[in-house]
Structure 1
Amino acid sequence: MSDKSHETTEIIEKHFKIQNLDTQSSASLSENYDPVCETAKLANELGINQKRLKWKVDLYVVPPFCLLYFLAFLDRVNISNANLYGLSTDLELTGTDYNVALTMFFVPYIFFELLGNYTIKYVTPHVWLSGSVFLFGCITIGIAFVKTKFQLYATRFLLGMTESVLFCGVFYVLATYYIQKESLKRFTAFFSTTSLSGAASSSIAYRVNALDGRAGLASWRWLFLVQGIATVACSFVLFFIVSDFPETNRFLSDDERKFIKKKLEYHAGVKSSYDVKNSIWDALKCLKDWMIWLPTLAYFGLVIPSYGYAYFAATIIQDLGYTSVAAQQHSVYPWVCSFCVSNIVAFCSDYTGVRVPFVLGACAIAMTGLSMILGATENPSIRYGGCFLAVSGLFTAMPVLVCWAALNCGSHIRKSVGTSWQIGFGNIGGIIATFIFLTKDAPFYVPGLATSLASLCFAIACSLAYWFMCYRLNKVKKTKAYRDDFNSLSEKEQINLGDRNPDFVYLH
């Protein structure tokens, strides 16, 4: 017997611990059903080495998405670094003009998320996502040559439109590859590129200062130009390496695609809904569900302080007494700390199989950090230390929350709507963030920091409500009345409802 067959036999014996499975009644089989055992049997039938396939998926699926979002976040937040190098002065931005420029990014972002996730299934992810990267790279290059604030507003609006499909689209695709307890490490590896991107943006800005005046361009224009050209170049690479949904992934064999699809069905307890044709009205029906709204509202609460920090951290650090160039350098270190913390927490959460304690714990860390920045007005070292805690807590809580919600959606339509609505509606918080950190409030930014703390409290309350709903529904779905009601629905309705299937267990 081969090692693989021996391993499969051991798994079956371990999980069933019985001898005559084929002679038991269907009811008894249902009681002893174990997805791990079923997956192991399927792997043996198809000749799949599960560990090797998982590494293959990790290699082909996750890194391209990380690169994609690294570029997106880099082009999104570099305006903060550009502002330190004289963007507002050169474009004669006064009052809240700079804040309006930030806001223009989020207006289309909110409205195009849902449409983007509906379309990605039909255009295919590698075309849809790499095309978006190409477009926003071109727009970033265009920002380097704007002459007026209105041109800046227009380019920021277009940047938000082209980037809007990326974040929710990637989470949608990722959610179709991994079971619940495998997912957060991969989601966080993707999401934590925001921390690396924030660090890289400050680091690039630190180096780009040397180009000031070259070819008649100010350093802030060089910042947009360099990053835009790099983004456009990478978009051509992404076209060839970005993965599509498992059912059509060109990097996997037929048996590997079949295995991944069935594995997710076994662990979720529901059929794959990839082939189900849905209308836009089917998508909108999902928005009636509090299981979609609660994580969306929690994410909204996290976005306000997260984008507030991303857009104004360099300015806050400069106000601690650093020069513009030194502030760029010191902005790097909190982002690096955040990257390490978020990935460690992801491994711990996947290992324990729980989510809400890590969301609440990360929020508590963020609140501590923001309180230090707000309260230690006479001690710059404590304020700078608060930056480490704030960014680490915020950018750890966000991927846990988004992954938790995405994998608790049990069908393609609910994953599509759930991820897009959570990111799209949640980014209304980005608009709020751009108007709570005003120049007139420098150097302490009391209104912005106080609003950020309040929004974190709101995020905690919504996360607890979502946890309660998950816990309650897991109990209710065990009742005969619930199962009878669900079985009375049409097959399409049952498939589209996905996680409302009595056999689906919400992770919390």
Structure 2
Amino acid sequence: MGASTEKGDRPVSQSEGPVDVEQVDRVAVPPVTPQSFAHLDEKAILRKMDMRLIPMLALLYLLSFLDRGNIGNAKIEGLQENLGLTDDQYNWCLTAFFFTYAAFEVPSNLMLKKVRPSIWLPAIMVAWGIVMTLMGIVHNYAGLLTARIFLGVTEAGLFPGVAYYLTNWYRREEIQLRQAMFFSAASVAGAFSGLLAFAIGKMDGVGGLHGWQWIFILEGIATVIVATIAFFALFDFPGTASFLTEEERAFVVYRLKYQGQSQDRNGAQVAQADAFKWEYVKDAFLDWQIWVNIFVYWGVVCPLYGISLFLPTIIRELGYKSSEAQLMTVPIYITAAILAVVAAYFSDKVGKRSPFIVGFLLMMAVGFSMCIGTDPKEHPRVVYGGVFVAACAIYPAFPGVIAWLSNNLSGSLKRSVGMALQIGVGNLGGAMASNFYRARDAPRYRLGHGLELGFIGGGLIASLILVIGYTAQNKKRARRIEEGALDSYSSQELSEKGDRAITYRYVL
């Protein structure tokens, strides 16, 4: 097994490169069957993985979401006035981030397949921490716009990278709970951002800098510090994890390799294909389900960014002071984080994604309807209640959409590219949402709330299309197996077909 060792991983030959789920053939002594691991405590192993992986990943994403969204907090601390930005210029600074953020997500996930996660993820984190720190010393529109463009480039790889990374540790019936625990950091970031902005805003004038500048500088420095720790705290893949015994490593890799497939014509289990082939990349770009899922993603992500970028401003326009508006975002985000984990637990338990996603989309529609149908001057509490309801649906829905697609993509490479496509193209919704809430529409924001409702409606329609399509494909494949079509395929052919194999069943 080699003598060299890297950080938290077991000794492994450097010639092996990044280790993925195909490692079962190297870490386990053949023959390997489910009975080989019957004596192991699966729940204990999962708890061990949760404790070693989720807290650090959640911290990384908390800082990521904090750094991309803190411009909303900086705005009500005087950023726009101090830089002399027009409303349109401010919105362009929001929008520009998403163009580069979307463009670099697929390349970043391909790099993650070539470079170890414990190197790639902290490296891009250091880069965006530096960009964030420098954003605190910009003096004009051009400087802020440039910084936001580079922030999009450097942050692009984290979320799709971690979302894919988790699928290399957890089976598809376990993934949403872990995605939710990781993503709930976004909710906590929203609450934390408000509290931090409230506190840091008091530093206005310290060192000759404005309060909004200190928000960017201090949060950027914190990101670089955590990234340095992450170089030593992150693990790569289960086949090399030092916190697992060799037998546990073999078990985790085996259960991932043989998930989501039935037996072949000889009764043997069919493994997922994990070799790097450009045809798998092409297959991801041409898969109908990914492009339909993007519309579901937009139905959630447009409201998500509408809330994260403009919530302090929306609340302030209800008649509250800036400091009060910052603090009033906290209970919204804390409640949303708790609901995200609870909903994910039950979604994994019943093995369904669409009922929860559709339910939360409807709940979001109720929240934004409360906002658009209420005069904020007469009933500010109703509008606050509306954004509260909407946020408490958005944050549980988001990990469900990510988990739904990852559940239905088989093969490590296709899943990596497919998830990056979903998140990359999907995050163009953020570019749109950053222009929904215009200053001239305050305080009612009819246009912004109305556009959010439109995207929610599109997400509902796309969800129904996926359910109908998946159901039809599952029935068709079951019928073909009954007719004896399985006899025409070898184990290798079924493995290479991935989620297109007649033995594969889509998760609803």
Q: TM-score, with normalisation over the residues of structure 2?
A: 0.88
Q: Does 1:207 align with 2:199?
A: yes
Partner of 1:500: 500
Partner of 2:291: 293
Partner of 2:352: 354
Partner of 1:59: 51
How far residue 488 of structure 1 moved from its aligned partner, in angstroms, is: 6.0
Distance 1:277 1:484, change over 3 A: farther
Partner of 1:278: 277
Secondary structure at the counterpart of residue 267 of structure 1: coil
Flag structure 2 segments of 5+ consecutive residues without an equivalent: 1-31, 262-269
Partner of 2:385: 385
How far residue 262 of structure 1 moved from its aligned partner, in angstroms, is: 1.4
Equivalent pair of 2:481/2:502 in contact (CA under 8 Å): no
Alignment of 1:157-306 (within 5 A): 157-269=149-261, 270-274=270-274, 276-279=275-278, 282-306=280-304
Partner of 1:428: 428
Equivalent pair of 2:276/2:413 in contact (CA under 8 Å): no
Identify the range of structure 1 (58-67 vs 479-488) with the bigger mean alpha-carbon deviation.
Answer: 479-488
How far residue 396 of structure 1 moved from its aligned partner, in angstroms, is: 1.2
Alignment of 1:8-157 (within 5 A): 41-44=35-38, 48-157=40-149
Equivalent pair of 2:480/2:486 in contact (CA under 8 Å): no
How far residue 404 of structure 1 moved from its aligned partner, in angstroms, is: 1.2
Partner of 1:366: 364
Equivalent pair of 1:441/1:447 in contact (CA under 8 Å): yes
In 2: Cα distance, 1:223 partner to 1:112 partner: 26
In 2: Cα distance, 1:309 partner to 1:95 partner: 18
Partner of 1:30: none
Partner of 2:338: 340
Distance 1:98 1:474, change over 3 A: same
Equivalent pair of 2:272/2:496 in contact (CA under 8 Å): no
Equivalent pair of 2:176/2:348 in contact (CA under 8 Å): yes
Distance 1:219 1:262, change over 3 A: same
Alignment of 1:349-498 (within 5 A): 349-377=347-375, 378-480=378-480, 494-498=494-498
In 1: Cα distance, 2:101 partner to 2:493 partner: 30
Distance 1:224 1:54, change over 3 A: same
Identify the range of structure 1 (431-440 vs 493-502) with the bigger mean alpha-carbon deviation.
Answer: 493-502
In 2: Cα distance, 1:352 partner to 1:466 partner: 18
Flag structure 1 segments of 5+ consecutive residues without an equivalent: 1-37
Equivalent pair of 2:190/2:330 in contact (CA under 8 Å): yes
Q: Tell me the percent identity.
A: 34
Equivalent pair of 1:306/1:391 in contact (CA under 8 Å): yes
In 2: Cα distance, 1:382 partner to 1:460 partner: 25
Partner of 2:310: 312
Equivalent pair of 1:195/1:338 in contact (CA under 8 Å): yes
Q: TM-score, with normalisation over the residues of structure 1?
A: 0.88
Give CA deviations for 1:12-60 in whole Å, capped at 9, x if unaligned. Answer: xxxxxxxxxxxxxxxxxxxxxxxxxx9751313xx53222211111112
The number of residue pairs the alignment matches comes to: 467
Give CA deviations for 1:266-301 in whole Å, capped at 9, x if unaligned. Answer: 332241433x1223x531332111122221221022
Secondary structure at the counterpart of residue 87 of structure 2: coil
Equivalent pair of 2:258/2:272 in contact (CA under 8 Å): no
Distance 1:482 1:74, change over 3 A: farther
Q: CA RMSD in A?
A: 1.9
In 2: Cα distance, 1:491 partner to 1:230 partner: 50
Give CA deviations for 1:150-174 in whole Å, capped at 9, x if unaligned. Answer: 1101110111111111111111111
